[in-house]
A and B are shown apart, each in its own frame.
Chain A
C-alpha cells in the first residue's frame, strides 16, 4: 500500500471513496430490510445469518438468507424462544472465502449470536470451521457436501454422499442398466471428493476403469462444446452411459443448453446432477432437458401437507408467487427447528449445553417424515430422485423406502473406512478409529 500512495492522487481517492460508499450504501439498505425486533422485552436471542448476498454465490445464498428471516419471523409470532424474541444478524461475506472467517468471528465475538446458519460452498465452510471451533460457536450448514468431516461445532443438515450420490448411482444402475459413467464436475473440493468416493464405489460394483471418465472444468465454465461432444463420443461404445454431474451453480445453464443443442436426450445419455435444483433451473428453458435427473432430499413438487403449507408461507413472505423452494431451504427449515427444540431442551443458549441437547432431537421434514439429529451431527433424510419436467419442476421417480443415516466418513475410501464420529459422552470424538480404538482428530474434553 505504501508504494501506491505517491501515485494515488487525492482526487482519485475521492472517486474511489464515492464508489466504496455506494457499495456500502447498498449493503446498508440490505441489512436494514432485515427485521430487528430488538425492542422486545427481556432482551433478544441473536441468530447469525452468514450467507453471501453479493458475488458469484449470491444467486444461491440470497434465498437462504430470506428463508432464515422467514423462519425467525414465524418463531417470533409463535412467541419467540425461552420467552425472548429472536433477532437476525445478517452479514454479507460477499462470496469471498477469507471474509467468511472474518464475518464468522464478528458474529460470535462481537454480536454474540447463539447460533449461526450459513455457508454454501465447502471452501467457505472449511474457512469458517477453525473460527467456530476456536470460539465454540454453533454452525448449521444446509448444503449437500462431500462428507469426510465431523466437527463438534457444526451441524450438517445437508446430505452426505451416501444420502445423495450413492443412491442416485444405484438408481441408474438398476433402472437404466447404466454400464459406463462420466463423472463431470467443477474443479474444487466437493466434486473431487465426491468423485473419489463414487469412483471407489463404482469399481467395487465391478465397473471397469475404462468405463469411467472423469472430467473437471473451471468455475463458471461457459463453453461446453468440446466436453459435451466428448461425452457423446464416450457414450458411443455400445454400453448404456450416464453422466454424474457435480457441476456447480452457474456453469450448469450453459452445460444443459449445450446438451440440448447437441441433441443428447435423457433417454440416450441421462445426466444426474447433485447441484441442480429448482432455483438453478429458473434461468433455463427446460423443454430440451426433459427427463434429466437430480438427486436431492427434497423437491418443491413433494406432495405433502407440510410442504404445501411451507410453499404458501414462502410465497406470502417473499410476496412473489414465482419464487421456488429447494433442498437447502428445507435443510435450514429442519436445522432451525432442531435448534429451537435443542435450546428449549437445554433451557439455555449456552453452546455446550445446546450442542449436547441437540443430539437425538427429531423434527418433521417437508417430505412427510421426521428427521433426527444423529450423534455424528448429521441428520437422517429420505433420498429422492426426480426427473426434470418442462415447467422446471421435478417429477419424483424414486424415493428410498426409509430414512437414510449419513455416513460422515466414507466407507469406500481407504483412509476413512474405519472412522466414525460420535459426539455423545463418553466417546466425544469426531473421527474415532474403530480398528485401533483411538480418536484421531477433533477430540474435545
Chain B
C-alpha cells in the first residue's frame, strides 16, 4: 500500500518537473532516503553516493538539500520521501520546498551521516558555493574544495575562476584548482608542474601533505614535488620554533595565573597554603554557576558571562580566603609544618564539599565564540583561548603589582609583612591586614580559576594539578617577588615546551623538576631573592 502511494506521489512530483538531469537527481534522492532508513554500515556508502550525484546534477535544490543534511535537518519518511525540517520545527518537501503540513516528528527519521559522508558533503557544498554572492562564503568554498581536492570540482572551479574578481578568493581558488589537478588523471605535465609550484608557494602543512603524496613517485613532477617538500619543511621548521615559543609563553601564562595568588599568600605572607589549588577550583565553579544563572536569567548577555565571572570569582574565593585565614591560618603563623598539614586537610575538605554540592562529574563551562578557534599567522597557529589567557595573565599580574604599590591597602600589606611590630606601632590593625592579604591571594587564585575553566576540566580535582607547579614557580622565581614569579613562570613554560618534542611529555616534566632542584641547590632563594631585613624576619 505504502509503495503504491509512494509511486503515485513520485509521478505527480516528477512529471511537471521533467528536468534534463531528472534521472540522476531522482536516483540521488532515492538513494539518500532509502539508505537513511536502513541502518547498516553500507547505507552510509549510498548516502555518500547520493550526495555526490546530487552535487553534480545541477539541480537548483541540491545545495539546499545537502545543506540541510549538513545541519542534520534532513529527514526521510518510510515511503522514501525526503523532508527538510524548518527552523520552526515544521517540515517541507525536500524536492520542491513546499511545506508539508501533514508530516509530524513521528513519521520521519533523521538521515544520519558519518565521517565519509561528511567529507562528501563538505566537498559538494564547496563546489556548489563557489558562485555564492558574498566573498567570505566563496573563500570558505574554495578552502573546502582545496581540502577535498576532488577532480570533479574542476569544471566548476574553472568557471568560478573566470568570474572571480576578489584577489584573495581568486588565489584560494587557484590553489584549490592546483590541488584538484594533482589528483586528476590525464593532466599534462606542464599543468602539473605549475600546480606543484602553486602549492609550493602556499607552503603550509596541507600543501606539504598533498605534495609528499606525489614525492614518492618518479618523473619530473615527482622531483619538483620532492624539492617543494624540502623547501616547505625549511620554512615550517622556522615557524615551528616560533610556535614552540608561543606554546611556552602560553603554558607560562597559565602557570603565572595559578602562581600569582600563591606569590601573595606564600611569597609575601609565608603561609604554605596547600589549599591554594582549591581556591582556583572554587573560581572555576563560580564561573560555572555564573554561566548557569546567566543562561537562565540573562541569556542576552551570555556572551560576556566570563567577564562577569571574573569579579564574582575574586569575591567568592577571596571571601573563602578571609574566612579560612580568620578561622584556621591565624592560629598557625610561624608554624610551617602545622600550616602545611592543616591547609592540606582543608584542601581535602573543600574538594569534598564541592563534590557533595555539584557531584564528582565535570561541569561544562562554555567557551564563548570570541574565544574559540585559532588565528593563522603565517605558519603559526595562535589559538584564541590561549591568546586571551596570556593577555589576561599579564593584566592580572600588572593589576596586582599596582595594587601592592599604589593603594593604601598595598602599602599596609608591605608594611606588615616587612615589620609587623613597627606597623602595629604605627596604628595598622595587623590581624585585619593579614586577613585581607590572604583574601587577596585567594581572590587572585579565584580569577585564575575563571581562566583555567576555559582550558581544563571543571571538576573537584582541578586545583590538585596546579598546586605543585605553583610552588615550583614561586620558589624558582624567588619567594616574595612578583617579577620573579612572572619570569619564573615564563622560563618554566618555555623550557618545558622546548623539551617536550625532544624528550616526550613525561620525561620533559621530570627533566624540568631535576633542573629546578639543581638550581635551588645553587641559589636557594630563587632567581630574584629578597634582600634586606625582611629576609631575616
Is B147's CB under 8 angstroms from A268's CB?
A: yes
Give residues 322-354 of B contacting A (CB, 8 Å). 328, 331-332, 335, 337-338, 341-342, 345-346, 348-349, 351-353
Q: 0/1 per residue, A367-388, Cβ < 8 Å to B?
A: 0000000000000000000010
Binds B, one of A17-25, A122-130, A304-312, A427-435: A17-25
- Among B338, B455, B457, the residue within 8 A (CB) of A250 is B457
Given known pairs A54-B355, A279-B361, the reply for A236 and B381 (CB within 8 Å) is no
- Among A20, A26, A293, A398, the residue within 8 A (CB) of B356 is A26
Point out the residues of chain B lying under 8 angstroms from A20, CB to CB.
345
Point out the residues of chain A lying under 8 angstroms from B352, CB to CB.
23, 26, 54
Is A261's CB under 8 angstroms from B505's CB?
A: no
Do most interface residues of chain B lie in helix, strand or loop, or is the interface mixed?
A: helix
Given known pairs A229-B243, A263-B373, A270-B115, the reply for A253 and B328 (CB within 8 Å) is no
Point out the residues of chain A lying under 8 angstroms from B122, CB to CB.
267
**Cα separation A237 to B206 with both chains bound (whole Å):** 9
Point out the residues of chain B lying under 8 angstroms from A11, CB to CB.
331
Q: Does A220 contact B (CB under 8 A)?
A: yes
Q: Does A62 contact B (CB under 8 A)?
A: yes
Point out the residues of chain A lying under 8 angstroms from B491, CB to CB.
none
Is A225's CB under 8 angstroms from B383's CB?
A: yes
Point out the residues of chain A lying under 8 angstroms from B364, CB to CB.
282-285
Residue of B nearest to A59 (CB): B360
Give residues 202-259 of A contacting B (CB, 8 Å). 215-218, 220-223, 225-227, 229-230, 232-233, 235-239, 250, 253-254, 257-258
- Among B208, B209, B214, B504, the residue within 8 A (CB) of A216 is B504
Residue of A nearest to B343 (CB): A19
Given known pairs A258-B383, A285-B366, the reply for A222 and B116 (CB within 8 Å) is no
Given known pairs A58-B360, A59-B360, the reply for A238 and B457 (CB within 8 Å) is no
Given known pairs A8-B337, A284-B364, the reply for A221 and B118 (CB within 8 Å) is no
Residue of A nearest to B215 (CB): A238
Q: Does B372 contact A (CB under 8 A)?
A: yes
Nearest CB on A from B263, distance (A): 21
Q: Does A189 contact B (CB under 8 A)?
A: no
Is A216's CB under 8 angstroms from B505's CB?
A: yes
- Count of interface residues, chain B, beta-carbon cutoff 8 Å: 79
**Cα separation A394 to B506 with both chains bound (whole Å):** 32
- Among A55, A175, A261, the residue within 8 A (CB) of B383 is A261
Q: Does A56 contact B (CB under 8 A)?
A: yes
Given known pairs A253-B456, A253-B457, A285-B364, the reply for A239 and B213 (CB within 8 Å) is yes
Is A215's CB under 8 angstroms from B504's CB?
A: yes
- Among A238, A288, A395, the residue within 8 A (CB) of B211 is A238
Q: Does A16 contact B (CB under 8 A)?
A: yes
Please give the residue numbers on chain A whose beta carbons come within 8 Å of chain B beta carbons, in ascending order. Answer: 4, 7-9, 11-12, 15-16, 19-20, 22-23, 26, 29, 53-56, 58-59, 62, 175-176, 187, 215-218, 220-223, 225-227, 229-230, 232-233, 235-239, 250, 253-254, 257-258, 260-263, 266-268, 270, 279-280, 282-285, 288, 290-291, 293, 387, 390, 395, 397-398
Give me 7 A-to-B residue pairs in the complex whose CB atoms sit less than 8 angstroms apart, sorted by A's number: A175-B116, A225-B250, A230-B501, A236-B205, A236-B208, A250-B459, A283-B362
Given contacts A238-B214, A261-B385, A283-B364, 20 further A-B contacts (CB under 8 A): A12-B335, A53-B360, A58-B360, A59-B362, A187-B506, A216-B504, A222-B457, A227-B505, A233-B240, A238-B210, A254-B456, A257-B455, A261-B372, A261-B383, A267-B119, A268-B147, A283-B362, A285-B367, A288-B372, A390-B72
